[in-house]
Amino acid sequence: MLLAFTWEDPKLSNMQIEWFEILYTGIFSAGIGYTLQIIAQHKVNPAPAAIILSMESVFAVIAGWILLNQALDTQKILGCLAIFSGVIIVQLVPIIIKQK
């Protein structure tokens, strides 16, 4: 907050316009999201946890698109597909190798 008041000009009227985004970020993203992440990480092996957490940016983009009506351009869609493809490949290669 110190940095915001130093370099920005925060106004209550602007905060009232963006109230949903502020509550979403504070309650759902930081509060609930990180709590569930900590609980889940405690019960999972490190390698699968790292792979799942690499999808965090994909989930964030999709949530922003659905909940906040943010625009998805071609670059964002291709980035999500690249990350998702990488996660799938990492999971399937060991299975394919074991079958051979």
pLDDT of residue 63: 85
Q: Quick: pLDDT tens for 10-62.
A: 788 877 888 888 888 888 777 887 888 888 888 888 877 887 788 888 888 88
Same domain, 36 and 52: no
Is pLDDT of 79 > 80? yes
Q: What is the pLDDT of residue 38?
A: 85
Q: Which domain holds residue 72?
A: 45-100
pTM of the model: 0.53
The DSSP call for residue 8 is: S
- Sort residue 38 into left (φ over 0), alpha (ψ -120 to 50) or beta: alpha
Instruction: Examine the pLDDT at 100 and tell me if it is beyond 80.
Output: no
Taking phi over 0 as left and psi of -120 to 50 as alpha, with beta for the rest, 10 belongs to beta
Q: Are residues 29 and 61 in the same domain?
A: no
Q: Is the pLDDT of residue 95 over 80?
A: yes
Residues 32 and 72 both lie in one domain: no
Q: pLDDT at position 19, please?
A: 84
Q: Are residues 35 and 66 in the same domain?
A: no
